[in-house]
Every structure is written in C-alpha cells, then in structure tokens.
Amino acid sequence: MNVKKFSGELVDFNPRALKRSLTKSGANKQEVEVVFDAIETEMYDGIPTSDLYTLAFKNLKKYRNSYAARYSLKKALRELGPEGYFFEKWMVKLFESLGFQAAHSETVQGRAVTHEIDVVAYKDDHLLFCECKFRNDVDAKISVTTPMYFLSRMRDVEECTYSFFGKEMKPTKGFLVTNAYLTTDSIDFANYYGIGLISWDYPVESSIKERVDSGALYPVTCLTTLTDEQEKILLSKNCILVKELVNQPNYLDHLNLSKEQKRDVLEEAKELIDIDCLHCETEDE
C-alpha cells in the first residue's frame, strides 16, 4: 500500500514507522496496537500523510488528550507562527533549559551594517548568535542559500565586542535553528564553515523533537483542550510552554473558562509533561 507525501510523491506505507510514532505519544503497547488496527481499517491506497495523521490523532485522543497532544508536536510548532516571533521565544526557553542565559530580537552593530539577532544565548564564556528560520509548510526544507547568507552576517559581527548578560565579549559561534528540515547541502555547508545547526530532525540525538521530549518543552499550542484563539491569548501573555501553565495555572484566568474546562486543560497539561509518560517503552527497531 502507498501513502502520498505532502509533495505528492507516493511511497510505500511503513507500518513499523507508524507504530514507532504512535509509541512516541506515550501510549502503551496494547493501546498502540488498538490504534494501529483502527487506522488500518480506514486506510486506502494513496492515502495522503495528512489524512493518516488525522486518523492517528483522532484515535489517540480516544485514550488520552495528552497522547494526541504529544503526537501533534510538529504541527504545534508550526502554530507558533505565522511570522515566527513565538518560535524565537520558544527557542529562548530551549536554550534556558540547557543552562544558557538567553534573549531574543537583539539589534547589534556589525563592522558594515546593523543586524537583528533572533536569539542570543550565553553560557561558560560562549556567546551564541542564532538565526531562526520558521516555516509553516509541512515538508519545508532550508536550502544551502540560508547558511550561506547567515555566514556572511556572522563574518560582519564576529570581530565586534558586545555587552550581553553583564559580559563584554565577541560572539563565539553562530547557530541556524529551524522547525523545518535541512537539505544535505545546507548541512554540509554549515558543518564545513562551523555553523551550528538545530532543526526538527538534526542533529539526530539533539534535534528539536528529541530535546522537546527530554526536557518536556511542549509549547502550549500542543494542547487539544484549548482552541486556537485561546492558545494565541496564552502566547500573547508570554505563556509559551505547557510546564509554565502547570506552574502558574492563573494564566487560564485570561481565557474565561469554566471550572470544568480549567480542570480538563490542567489535567492534559500535567499528563503531557509527566516524565513517566515520556519514558514509556518503545518498539524494538
């Protein structure tokens, strides 16, 4: 049986890959098998991957909202748009989870021109300047022209001294970060010229999808018990992460929810960041 990718390309259906992705939701083996069987009954040759995702999301939600929420991570990151401002804020949270001090949207003077640096991060005498490339498209890829452009910007600022976080120092490394994919050429170019990379699936052990699970860095846009508009309100109040909502439930006061609705949202949020769920058993490769 074939499935149709977003690009229109037909590829062989991989049942093991689907089961692995379902397991990542936190569902146990028995639940995964039931969900998988339910999906199979509605599949047909050439089914779009978007419809496959919808079937998986719907059936996971029957067990727990948090399963569906965790499964929808990639979509939730795209909903930090449309311009990527909140993705930059989310990246600040990621760097902070790694022990960095971080800030976003900083303007600096290079040797030739001024530059807006999307995220600045500092730790152990390392000052990182980060270029964030946010994409709304499902299968968007960052081409080699992006790290080429970023390299020219870094060369304009690398010999300049800046004051950040109470320190005077030069940037030590540039990072290109994106919620999308990277082309092979963009990876090769960046690695050759010493540009750091963080994307949806690269580097494999420290990609965005791996760091989210390991650090419970789920954006509030994951939550299935909130509407899109309610999620936007939380983001506007600087509530970026689900764990922030759990730690400060009073954020929900901005949403005019009933007690029952608040209870449901917090229940899903707590389940989503539960470490026991994150470390569930996985299928053998």
Residue 171, phi then psi, degrees to nearest 5: -65, 135
Closest to 169 in 3D by CA, of 159, 181, 179: 159
Alpha carbons 182 and 190: distance in angstroms, whole number: 10
Full set of structural domains in the chain with CATH: 2-63 (no CATH), 85-212 (3.40.1350.10), 219-276 (1.10.150)
pLDDT at 276 over 60: no
Kindly state the percentage of the chain with pLDDT values over 70: 96
Angle at 242 between CA 103 and CA 16, to 5 degrees: 110
pLDDT digits (tens, 9 = 90+) for 148-190: 999 999 999 999 999 999 999 999 999 999 999 999 999 999 9
| Whole-number Cα distances in Å, 273 to 9, 22, 215 | 35, 17, 9
Pairing of strands 114-123, 126-133: antiparallel
pLDDT digits (tens, 9 = 90+) for 102-126: 999 999 999 999 999 999 999 999 9
3-state secondary structure of 135: coil
pLDDT of residue 84: 86
End-to-end CA distance of the chain: 21
Alpha carbons 83 and 125: distance in angstroms, whole number: 31
Cα-only R_g, the chain? 20
Kindly state the percentage of the chain with pLDDT values over 90: 89
pLDDT digits (tens, 9 = 90+) for 43-65: 999 999 999 999 999 999 999 99
pLDDT of residue 282: 35
